[in-house]
């Protein structure tokens, strides 16, 4: 027997019963983004590996261990995108869309790929909706991005389950000075650090601040604090952001250990986290990356953005019971029983669609007796069954039978059925 093939570990099918929730989520976010004046950009899912190495950073987990790369005979290396900020920046430079200070407010949606250990909320193919804004330097745009996400959580009804964590990473120079002080301090405790942190001490010391290991956390309690190293400009920027969040009434928590897993950030970084999903609690993350254009070979350009994990947000909606009922519910299911009725059902349903294009109408296919078709109508979750039997055929009428309440069924002329349904579904 031939062995049945399965999907790749960590890469999931989104099955028909799950897609209505995805569509609900996608529509909610994309309508919101349009209402703020953001435009969509679509970039390929593969890029040259060098793009991600240069932007995310050579010694990050993503670049070191998690990229799916394809090395070709021509000496070129390609990677499935682990994230999309770098690709959007690459696209701006390539097409000259941020030249001469031109402001861009963009969003994207699509699959990202990271070879992580799969678990609830962590997959190898996952989806992000992200936003990137270019050529705006002030904290007002950082605040707008946060206000936009806050509005989204409120629209979805999950605002009480998420927390905004904020930090400032300052300028490159301030960060380097701080890094040196942190390494000095931690080197005295090197033997007591966990293995990961020991190796990060020489590669990516700031990531140690992010540790989940209790013994390392204890050592960090007395470590130098970045607040003593932050530069004046970044400090003012951060104060400006906090002032605006206070004005908007958006609650936040300051977290000086928040460093993020990608190297391109400066000044503002933020994450929206939840305790409702276990270990994978970050549903959205982002920040400023004013040096990234130059790192990739472009002119200095301010950049700020975020990306949210769609799988995690859908899990959260489920966990909190916030998925609206009757998503994509059918309005009508057309039941046709008896000689010649199925062709007529097709014709009548097309006529109804001409007059009522918004109607969600499914016509029974594949035959079946009355009981069997009515059962299918019920299982479809439609609100009404339209019934065409031999009696109705001879009278040129249809029965319109409510399936979700006890109101009486009605006999309606073929010519009036669309307006009757419009009235019912108003």
| Interacting residues with ligand HAM (CB under 6 A) | 83, 85, 114, 116, 122-123, 126, 128, 130, 132, 261-262, 282-287, 305-309, 311-312
Could you list the beta-strand ranges (E) of 44-124. 46-48, 69-71, 77-80, 104-113
Q: Is 83 annotated as a binding residue?
A: yes
Q: Is 167 among the annotated ligand-binding positions?
A: no
C-alpha distance from residue 152 to each of 247, 259, 419 (Å): 18, 24, 36
Nearer to ligand HAM, 311 or 392 (CB): 311
Q: How far is the CB of 130 from ligand HAM (least distance, A)?
A: 5
Comparison of 174 and 284: residue with beta carbon closer to ligand HAM: 284
Q: Cβ 301 to ligand HAM, closest distance in Å?
A: 14
Cα–Cα distance measured from residue 211 to residue 216, given in angstroms and rounded to the nearest whole number: 7
Nearest alpha-carbon partner for 88 in 23, 39, 151, 147: 39
Residue 84 marked ligand-binding:
yes
DSSP state of 333: E
CA 242, chain centre distance (Å):
25
Q: Minimal distance in Å, beta carbon 349 to ligand HAM? A: 41
CA distance linking residue 332 with residue 247, whole number of Å: 48
Q: CB of 100: closest distance to ligand HAM in angstroms?
A: 23
200 versus 312: smaller Cβ distance to ligand HAM: 312
DSSP type of residue 407: P
Supply φ then ψ for residue 49, to 5 degrees. -55, -35
C-alpha 191/C-alpha 368 separation (Å) is 75
Report the DSSP beta bridge partners of residue 268.
168
260 is in an annotated binding site: yes
Yes or no: say if 217 and 196 are a contact pair by the CB < 8 Å rule: no
**Among 365, 357, 355, which Cα is nearest to 334's?**
365
312 vs 420 by CB, closer to ligand HAM: 312
The token duo for 425 is 């579904």
How many angstroms from the chain centroid is the CA of residue 174? 32
Smallest distance, ligand HAM to C-beta of residue 58, A: 16
Q: Are 130 and 305 in contact (CB under 8 A)?
A: yes
Point out the residue whose Cβ comes nearest to ligand HAM: 309
Q: Considering beta carbons, is residue 103 or 411 the nearer one to ligand HAM?
A: 103
Look-up of token digits 């040196």: 180
Query: What minimum distance in Å lies between the beta carbon of 121 and ligand HAM?
Result: 6
Q: Which is nearer to ligand HAM, 28 or 372 (CB)?
A: 28
350 assigned to a ligand binding site: no
Q: How far is the CB of 103 from ligand HAM (least distance, A)?
A: 16
CB nearer to ligand HAM: pick between 205 and 287: 287
Annotated binding site for L-histidine: 83-85, 114, 128, 132, 260, 264-265
Q: Which residue ranges are tagged as binding site?
A: 83-85, 114, 128, 132, 260, 264-265
């Amino acid at each position: 027997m031939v062995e049945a093939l399965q999907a790749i570990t960590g890469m999931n099918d989104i099955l028909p019963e799950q897609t209505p929730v995805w569509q609900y989520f996608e529509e909610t976010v994309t309508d919101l983004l349009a209402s703020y004046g953001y435009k969509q950009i679509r970039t390929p899912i593969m890029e040259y590996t060098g793009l991600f190495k240069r932007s995310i950073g050579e010694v990050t987990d993503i670049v070191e261990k998690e990229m799916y790369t394809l090395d070709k005979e021509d000496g070129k290396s390609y990677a499935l995108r682990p994230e999309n900020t770098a690709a959007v920046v690459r696209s701006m430079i390539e097409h000259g869309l941020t030249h001469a200070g031109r402001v861009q407010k963009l969003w994207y949606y699509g699959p990202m790929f990271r070879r992580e250990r799969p678990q609830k909320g962590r997959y190898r193919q996952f989806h992000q909706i992200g936003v990137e804004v270019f050529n705006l330097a002030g904290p007002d745009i950082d605040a707008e991005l946060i206000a936009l996400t806050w509005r989204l959580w409120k629209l979805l009804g999950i605002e009480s389950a998420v927390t905004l964590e904020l930090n400032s990473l300052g300028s490159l120079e301030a960060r380097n000075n701080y890094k040196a002080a942190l390494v000095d301090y931690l080197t005295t405790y090197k033997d007591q650090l966990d293995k990961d942190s020991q190796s990060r001490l020489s590669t990516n010391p700031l990531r140690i601040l992010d540790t989940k290991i209790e013994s390392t956390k204890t050592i960090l309690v007395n470590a130098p604090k970045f607040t003593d190293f932050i530069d004046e400009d970044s400090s003012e920027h951060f104060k400006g952001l906090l002032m605006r969040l206070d004005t908007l009434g958006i609650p936040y928590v300051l977290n000086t250990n928040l460093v993020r897993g990608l190297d391109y950030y400066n000044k503002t970084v933020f994450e929206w986290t939840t305790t409702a999903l276990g270990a994978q609690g970050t549903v959205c993350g982002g920040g400023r990356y004013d040096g990234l254009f130059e790192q990739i070979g472009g002119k200095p350009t301010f950049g700020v953005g975020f990306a949210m994990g769609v799988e995690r947000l859908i899990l959260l909606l489920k966990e909190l019971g916030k998925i609206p009922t009757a998503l994509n519910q059918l309005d009508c299911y057309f039941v046709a029983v008896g000689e010649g009725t199925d062709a007529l059902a097709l014709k009548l349903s097309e006529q109804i669609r001409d007059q009522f294009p918004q109607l969600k109408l499914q016509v029974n296919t594949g035959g079946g007796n009355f009981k069997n078709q009515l059962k299918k109508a019920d299982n479809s979750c439609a609100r009404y069954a339209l019934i065409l039997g031999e009696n109705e055929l001879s009278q040129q009428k249809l029965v319109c039978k409510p399936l979700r309440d006890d109101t009486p069924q009605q006999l309606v002329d073929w010519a009036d059925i669309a307006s009757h349904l419009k009235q019912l579904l108003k």
